[in-house]
Chains A and B, each alone.
Chain A
Amino acid sequence: MNALAAGHGVNRVELGVVLFFFVIVTFGGFLAVRWRRGESMQSLDEWGLGGRGFGTFITYFLLGGDLYTAYTFVAVPAAMFATGAVGGFFAVPYTIVVYPIIFIFMPRLWSVSHRHGYVTPADFVRGRYDSRLLALAIAITGIIATMPYIALQLVGIQAVLDTMGIGGSGNTFVKDLPLIIAFAVLAAYTYSSGLRAPALIAFVKDGLIYLVIIVAIVYLAVKIGFGGIFDAAETKMKTKTKAGLPTGSFIPASSTYWAYGTLAFGSALALFMYPHSVTAVLSGRSRNVIRRNAAILPTYSLMLGLLALLGFAAIYEKTSVFGQDGKANAQLAVPHLFDQIFPDWFAGVAFAAIAIGALVPAAIMSIAAANLFTRNIYREFLKPDATPANEARVAKITSLVVKFGALLFVLGMDRQNAINLQLLGGVWILQTLLSIVAGLYTRWFHRWALLAGWAAAMVYGTVIAYRQTVPNATTTLVNGKPKVTVHGMRHFGTSLADFPGTNTKVYIAVTALLLNILIAVVLTVLLRVVKAPEGTDATEAADYYSDAPSKRVAVAAAEATAGVEGRPA
């Protein structure tokens, strides 16, 4: 156990344990190429969707590893530690309600994608609405929402490295070397093994995470008792700040009911619009794989809720959140708590869990972004006669570009930028919901109306989020005492804003979605009146509930021919 003041040395035991697991995972990642091997890796179905043959068990770990990211594991308790329930605990109802919701519509997306060989949600929109532009809008939204999410996985790894005593001082290159190496290795095995790599590594990640959380919770329950933890949190949240406001919310007050509810439901609706979620779902073998997983994935939500409570435990334990750079950073709350309460070797296990927890989603996200680029930009606009082998090659290279882009972003810019962009990403990705989910049920909406609604909501959401300013405060330790310095105001301070015409705070993504729907409905009616061309729907009613056993040969064969013919010039 370490003194947590800034500038302590590297903890060799912790580092050794983390390296041990990193080596295991690296072997797994490279060997995954042989796992459940298909005919050939030379297609997106194999590289980008793992052969579309994963059963309930593998999908459970893959989706769990994909959705509950390292950043979630760091950021949710950090929010609990800093501001309490509204900013942090909404993650629990969010990850509860998401499953009944996806139970309803995801099987339809799976079916139509399976019947038509769609790899991305934008593929579906392209086929359904016969609009290259709308599909491009969906694809670009997916890519720009995913990029900062990948960057934040690196931020999760950084929090762990910082806790172990790596990365404080010295020149930038040496400081960031561990992160660069970890990402280079990740990029290499994602390149060669595709989606099979994170699917295999997810077993290690989830096993470690479950182990760490259970041990932490048992320790806290026995050692402290939950009553004490909640009391400490309540005291902190009710303490008035200098501005005379409470520090945070212990239990949401009536003024924040809408904020809590819209954060939970808005985030839940957005989660399965992210390309990486869709990628993991489409890699499933059948509709029932999705439905069964909707029922069993809440086990991860339970764990996330317990993890959130660790933020309160850090309040009780008076965990220091000062990093190697001497600045306070709430994201260090959980890594520092582990460092404080666990013996070094087990803290190492916990850090390995977080670090590997970053690699799995980063891999899947980069694959999903690569699929989008390849299908909906490269093949659609640049090389219409691309063969499946061309596609696989382009996707592999794109996955490298995406990861190194995220790495440069994190190394070159302030961490706050990645956080801001990820907040915006949530607002953006929800604006693809109408085209995708409504499209699964009805062709009523006009493609141009959907495009207009999307564009308006993207601009609106971005502007409103930009306008949310908060004091740009930095807390440093001066003579052992925290000292707050404020450098003006910063934008993107919160994901909540007043609902137009009221004083009620709601999640900006939800307000933007309502605007999106309103515009799409009005314009659809108008476009009907003027008889604007609607395009040809490539799908039919039966496609949405068909359940075919995986026919990867048929799909691959269909793709090989369809790549050359059957498309407009």
Chain B
Amino acid sequence: MSSDPVQPPAPSHPSRPLPPGAMALAGVLLLIPLVALALVPTYAKDGPQLWGFPFFYWYQFLWVFLASGFTWAAYLVIARARRGGDR
């Protein structure tokens, strides 16, 4: 007997873990923005400037777009691995 406060409803859409290859690829895609922004010394500098923005500022703005792209790519990798079984 479980002591769970709520009994689970019947699984109506069983799913399975991802294939290891897809999982690893998605993991790497997600890790890239984290590593890039964790390395503060690589971007805490003034130049080169862009449209008056010091490097420190425009580089982080750039990562807003890049991180979004990497995350979307990870989503596509996972969705494809599930072959549309996961929606």
The listed residue (A302, A380, A568) touching B61 by CB distance below 8 A is A302
Is the C-beta of B8 less than 8 angstroms from some C-beta in chain A?
yes
Contact pattern, A 67-104, Cβ under 8 Å of B = 1, otherwise 0: 00000000000000000010001001100110111011
Q: With A97-B67, A100-B34, A103-B74 in contact, is A538–B2 under 8 Å at CB?
A: yes
State whether A89 touches B2 (Cβ < 8 A): no
Q: With A101-B34, A251-B56, A252-B40 in contact, is A296–B68 under 8 Å at CB?
A: yes
Q: With A100-B31, A305-B61 in contact, is A558–B71 under 8 Å at CB?
A: no
Is the C-beta of A526 less than 8 angstroms from some C-beta in chain B?
no
State whether A97 touches B33 (Cβ < 8 A): yes
Instruction: Scan residues 392-407 of chain A and give those whose CB is less than 8 A from a CB of chain B.
Output: none
Beyond contacts A85-B56, A305-B61: 10 other A-B pairs, Cβ-Cβ < 8 A, are A92-B64, A225-B52, A229-B52, A298-B64, A302-B64, A538-B4, A546-B13, A557-B9, A561-B7, A567-B5
Residue of B nearest to A113 (CB): B6
Residue of B nearest to A96 (CB): B67
Is the C-beta of A442 less than 8 angstroms from some C-beta in chain B?
no
CA distance A242 to B28 in the complex (A): 48
**Chain B residues whose CB sits within 8 angstroms of the CB of A126 once the complex forms:** 5
The listed residue (A225, A253, A286) touching B87 by CB distance below 8 A is A286
**26 sampled A-B residue pairs with Cβ under 8 A:** A93-B37, A96-B37, A97-B34, A99-B71, A100-B74, A117-B8, A118-B6, A227-B51, A230-B53, A251-B46, A251-B56, A254-B41, A286-B86, A291-B74, A295-B68, A301-B64, A305-B60, A305-B61, A536-B3, A539-B4, A543-B8, A546-B14, A546-B15, A554-B12, A566-B5, A567-B5
State whether A89 touches B41 (Cβ < 8 A): no
Residue of B nearest to A115 (CB): B8
**Chain B residues whose CB sits within 8 angstroms of the CB of A298 once the complex forms:** 64-65, 67-68, 71
Is the C-beta of A12 less than 8 angstroms from some C-beta in chain B?
no
CB within 8 Å of B: which residues of A? Answer: 85, 89, 92-93, 96-97, 99-101, 103-104, 115-118, 123, 126-127, 130, 225-230, 250-254, 257-258, 260-261, 264-265, 286-288, 291-292, 294-296, 298-299, 301-302, 305, 309, 379-380, 535-536, 538-539, 542-543, 545-549, 551, 554-555, 557-559, 561-562, 566-568
State whether B17 touches A545 (Cβ < 8 A): yes
Contact pattern, B 61-87, Cβ under 8 Å of A = 1, otherwise 0: 101110110111011001100000011
State whether B41 touches A257 (Cβ < 8 A): yes
State whether A117 touches B6 (Cβ < 8 A): yes
CB within 8 Å of A: which residues of B? Answer: 1-18, 27, 30-31, 33-34, 37-38, 40-41, 44-46, 51-54, 56-57, 60-61, 63-65, 67-68, 70-72, 74-75, 78-79, 86-87
Return B22 CB to nearest CB of chain A, in Å: 13
State whether A562 touches B56 (Cβ < 8 A): no
State whether A99 touches B16 (Cβ < 8 A): no
The listed residue (A100, A258, A566) touching B2 by CB distance below 8 A is A566
State whether A97 touches B37 (Cβ < 8 A): yes
State whether A558 touches B9 (Cβ < 8 A): yes
CA distance A562 to B1 in the complex (A): 13
The listed residue (A292, A380, A542, A548) touching B9 by CB distance below 8 A is A548
**Chain A residues whose CB sits within 8 angstroms of the CB of B46 once the complex forms:** 251
Q: With A92-B64, A554-B10, A566-B4 in contact, is A292–B75 under 8 Å at CB?
A: yes
**Chain A residues whose CB sits within 8 angstroms of the CB of B38 once the complex forms:** 97, 261, 265
CA distance A123 to B5 in the complex (A): 8
Return A390 CB to nearest CB of chain B, in Å: 14
Q: Sorted from nearest, which 7 A-B pairs have the closest CB atoms?
A: A227-B52, A538-B4, A554-B9, A226-B52, A117-B6, A295-B72, A100-B30
CA distance A84 to B86 in the complex (A): 44
Output the residue of B3, B27, B61 with the most chain A CB within 10 A.
B3
Return A227 CB to nearest CB of chain B, in Å: 3
The listed residue (B3, B40, B71) touching A538 by CB distance below 8 A is B3
Residue of B nearest to A535 (CB): B3
State whether B70 touches A562 (Cβ < 8 A): no
**Chain A residues whose CB sits within 8 angstroms of the CB of B51 once the complex forms:** 226-227
The listed residue (B16, B52, B61, B87) touching A92 by CB distance below 8 A is B61
